[in-house]
Chains A and B, each alone.
Chain A
Amino acid sequence: MNTAKRDWQALLTRHEMLLLYVLIAEWLFFYFAGTTTNRRGVVVGFGTLDRQFDILRHSCEIGLLALALTPVIITAGIDLSVGSLLGLCAILFGQLWHDGGLPIPVAAGLTLALGALAGGLNAALITALRLPPLIVTLGTYSLFRGLAEAITHGSITYTDFPETFLFVGQERWLGLPTQAWIFFVVALAVWLLVHRTTFGRTFRTIGLAPEGARYAGLPVARRLALVYVLAGLIAAIAAIIYTARLGQAKADAGTGYELFAITAVVLGGISIFGGTGSVHGTLLGVAAIAVLKNGLACLPVVMGMNAAEEMSGLLTGALLLLALTASVLPKILSHVRSRPHAPAP
């Protein structure tokens, strides 16, 4: 039992390394197979810097949601509402700026506060009433998206944002896409929170042993509330970046993003049972999915089929199933070995 446990842990600590190899192999493959020179002698495809920046630019929003979910899943919880909240926050931001006439920074600040407040609704239901996170966030998933649709009457799209704001989503700053800097700052902040503070320690303990955490005098309810509020806040940041990238705020912003984010997190080595995993694992998971998606689009074969999106989705799903199966294999094997008799009929 103990050895099996140790093997299992060794596997997990190696998980990030494994994912890193996959990512590097993936990247090299697409670099060589997905870069071509066109008729005019210009290098196009995966190997160009522009394309790399594109990958970065397009992974920021899902990456942020994956970061939001990382502490949540470490505490053995889940938040299905982040994608819908992204949509709601995008709308609120557009409305505050357009209809409310607020300057962009004030509107953004208010949006962040509202995002945190929405996360607070999840937190209150989950911690005060002790309801299962899955079902609470399923409800808010519907509620937040519905509010966004109700506010916009399903049709209003906020556009014509000022150039200075679009700079955040469409230009480069210090050589990198502007929003990538925001993403990096949030990633660093979440990394520090999870890996370098007592908060992260407590998240992990709650995920592994919620009762044990209570016996150790840790403030379980307060920390659980924090992770959901934080998820709301980060979803709001993602909403603003999304709006800046597309130059418009629509009610359907971020539809389905929650599932990509959860996939990235689980691929990154965080057990849905809680307690394990790391922020860098999540980042690697996000990168692996993003490179796969964009790389496939650069392959001549796939370009001919016009199916990059689908193929990357298929491979991501298959990868996730593989990672899951691999994660329980040691447990199953040791279980079979340690059982002296066949299971009771």
Chain B
Amino acid sequence: MSSPLLALSQLTKSFGGARALRGVNFDLQAGEVHALLGENGAGKSTLIKIVTGAHQPDGGTITVAGQIVAGLTPAAAHALGIACIYQQPALFPDLTVAENIALRLEAGSALRRVDWPARRARAHDLLARIGASIAPTAEVRTLSMPEQQLVEIACALGAGARIVIMDEPTASLTHQEQHLLYAVVRDLRAHGVGVIYISHRLEEIFMLADRVTVLRDGQSVGTHPVDTLTEAALIRLMVGREMTQIYPPAESVPGDTLLTVCDVGCAASGVHHVSFDVRAGEIFGLGGLVGAGRTELARVLFGLTPADSGEITLAGRRLSLGSPQEAIAHGLAYVPEDRRRHGVVLDLPIAHNVTMAIHRPLFPTTWLRFGAERSLALEFIRDLAVKCAGPAAPVGSLSGGNQQKVALARWLATKPRLLILDEPTQGVDVGAKGEIHRLIRRLAKEGLAVILISSDLPEVLGMSDRIGVMAGGTLTAILPGHSDAHTVMAAALGTPEKGAA
């Protein structure tokens, strides 16, 4: 075998205390489609960012075409012929497709003349090569997300990239578009390009890839030719870890049905035909892969993007949730996924964050009562064991886990009946993770209904009384809490195993 196009050896990378990569080995040959597979958080995105020069590795070497590369920057990666198609395209929304492609590909003096016909012709050719029917003169802001992705692919194609990374390229494509993309990938391979293909769709991997590398907990656990594997074997490789964490046992017995969701949909956020119910004191886990529509469903339930079809009933009363204010008034609470942007306000003190959703009840005259606020904040700091300098400390000065506790405290202060937790332990260290798990259990025991959204499969399995699995914007399965990882993963990947519930 000739020297590989790209070889990574023993790559490590830490962010703060969290070790994202702990020794990854990977190699890519010319004219190969190499699939990279792993659960959410296994380290795939970190790996991509290192290869594209966005992050610097802490240790290990990167070899491109036999040359060891150090201090890779985005520009250097570009020059080496490495291109990445991100899920969220980085395009100029106000400019046309032709111009977007040209800005990436053209070099030369800033005072050179722009050859518009040539730009359009090149864009037309590149788009035709990938079979996309997008007008080169269309403004990018008018394109849909998959169309923008195709523009990105056209850019990579035009740049003559030797190494193309595709991060879940088909996640938002229609069936027809998907097949066009497969043809593009095969075409790239035929031209000697190495493709790193990241996808959660197993059928895609079996159809396209030559080899598969599985990442688990920041380590590569093996590289195999695709034809030596079965789907079941692949799933086993992905989830095969031992339960490293002990989850607190269930103590509560679920009571009466509290929330009933019947055929709910919201066209704007891609959620459709979702039906399930949650009982008081129950922890209802929502599993699925990133982009399956779990956060979107939570936003619908909380009135951030109101539902346009179906019925939501809480304790027998039909709700029409048009805004978060209404949802809060009915006893709903939502701890969002993006903690730093939505969950807490980093520059404000803990006390302000804790009382943010209870202005009306705590300050009925609209006058702030600092004493009451402080004692409430202190109560939560003690109760949730928030490590901080005091209630006046800005939330930005806390660690991730403690920030999350403050976000939780804000919603517990509203005394909700239903609590939706979206990735409550993401970016949280192990100790705080355990505390949050025990807290969730305690809340359920006190009669709170909890919807737990998590991409951490063991967490969903270990914490939930029942598990709903989402894929493609709808609920595809409701499984009992003691289901095994294979079953849930199979449902999330859209390939239910025979005999699964």
The answer to whether A and B touch directly, with their CB atoms under 8 angstroms apart, is: yes
A residues with a Cβ closer than 8 A to B are 2, 5-6, 9, 196-199, 201-202, 204-205, 208-209, 211-219, 275-276, 340-341, 344-345
Query: Is residue B92 contacting chain A, with contact meaning CB distance below 8 A?
Result: no
A217 touches B357 (CB 8 A): yes
A275 touches B347 (CB 8 A): yes
Contact of B397 among A5, A219, A275 (CB under 8 A): A5
Q: Nearest 4 pairs between A and B by C-beta?
A: A217-B324, A198-B359, A215-B342, A216-B356
- Residues of A near B345 (CB, < 8 A) are 205, 208-209, 212-213
A344 touches B344 (CB 8 A): no
Taking each of A208, A209, A215, A219, which has the highest tally of chain B beta carbons within 10 Å of its own beta carbon? A215
Q: Can you give 28 contacting A-B residue pairs, CB < 8 Å?
A: A5-B346, A5-B394, A5-B397, A6-B394, A6-B396, A9-B394, A196-B367, A198-B359, A198-B368, A199-B366, A201-B356, A201-B368, A204-B348, A205-B345, A205-B356, A208-B345, A209-B341, A209-B345, A214-B304, A214-B324, A215-B324, A215-B334, A215-B336, A215-B342, A217-B323, A217-B325, A275-B347, A344-B74
B363 touches A198 (CB 8 A): yes
A212 touches B341 (CB 8 A): yes
- Residues of A near B325 (CB, < 8 A) are 217, 219
Residues 340-389 (chain B) with a chain A CB within 8 angstroms = 341-348, 352, 356-357, 359, 363, 366-368
B357 touches A197 (CB 8 A): no
Query: Is residue B431 contacting chain A, with contact meaning CB distance below 8 A?
Result: no
A219 to B360, CA, bound (A): 12
A208 to B341, CA, bound (A): 10
B368 touches A197 (CB 8 A): yes
B348 touches A208 (CB 8 A): yes
- Residues of A near B359 (CB, < 8 A) are 198, 201-202, 218
Query: Is residue B327 contacting chain A, with contact meaning CB distance below 8 A?
Result: yes
- Residues of A near B56 (CB, < 8 A) are 340-341
B394 touches A212 (CB 8 A): no
Query: Is residue B426 contacting chain A, with contact meaning CB distance below 8 A?
Result: no
Contact string against A for B residues 64-89, beta-carbon threshold 8 Å, 1 for contact and 0 otherwise: 00000001011110000000000000
A341 touches B73 (CB 8 A): yes
A218 touches B356 (CB 8 A): yes
- Residues of A near B419 (CB, < 8 A) are none
- Residues of B near A199 (CB, < 8 A) are 366
- Residues of A near B394 (CB, < 8 A) are 5-6, 9
A137 to B469, CA, bound (A): 49
CB-nearest residue of chain B relative to A340?
Answer: B56
A208 to B395, CA, bound (A): 13
CB-nearest residue of chain B relative to A343?
Answer: B73
B368 touches A216 (CB 8 A): no
- Residues of B near A218 (CB, < 8 A) are 356, 359
CB-nearest residue of chain B relative to A12?
Answer: B347
- Residues of B near A214 (CB, < 8 A) are 304, 324
- Residues of B near A196 (CB, < 8 A) are 367-368
Query: Is residue B328 contacting chain A, with contact meaning CB distance below 8 A?
Result: yes
Given A199-B366, A209-B345, A211-B342, 20 more pairs with CB closer than 8 A: A5-B347, A5-B397, A6-B396, A6-B397, A9-B347, A9-B394, A197-B363, A198-B366, A201-B352, A202-B359, A205-B348, A212-B344, A214-B324, A216-B357, A216-B410, A217-B325, A217-B328, A276-B347, A341-B71, A344-B75
CB-nearest residue of chain B relative to A193?
Answer: B366
Chain A min CB distance to B224 (Å): 36
A218 to B410, CA, bound (A): 13
A204 to B325, CA, bound (A): 19
A330 to B108, CA, bound (A): 37
CB-nearest residue of chain B relative to A192?
Answer: B367
Taking each of A202, A209, A340, A341, which has the highest tally of chain B beta carbons within 10 Å of its own beta carbon? A209
Chain A min CB distance to B55 (Å): 10
Chain B min CB distance to A94 (Å): 36
Chain B min CB distance to A221 (Å): 10
Chain A min CB distance to B328 (Å): 5
CB-nearest residue of chain B relative to A195?
Answer: B368
Taking each of B323, B345, B367, which has the highest tally of chain A beta carbons within 10 Å of its own beta carbon? B345
A196 to B373, CA, bound (A): 12
B357 touches A2 (CB 8 A): no
Contact of A2 among B367, B368, B396 (CB under 8 A): B396
A214 to B396, CA, bound (A): 19
A344 to B327, CA, bound (A): 47
CB-nearest residue of chain A relative to B396?
Answer: A5
Chain A min CB distance to B392 (Å): 11
- Residues of A near B334 (CB, < 8 A) are 215
A197 touches B366 (CB 8 A): yes
A215 to B336, CA, bound (A): 8
Chain B min CB distance to A163 (Å): 40
- Residues of B near A217 (CB, < 8 A) are 323-325, 327-328, 357
- Residues of A near B76 (CB, < 8 A) are 344
Chain A min CB distance to B319 (Å): 15
- Residues of A near B341 (CB, < 8 A) are 209, 211-212
CB-nearest residue of chain B relative to A204?
Answer: B348
Chain B min CB distance to A131 (Å): 18
A345 to B75, CA, bound (A): 7
B304 touches A215 (CB 8 A): yes
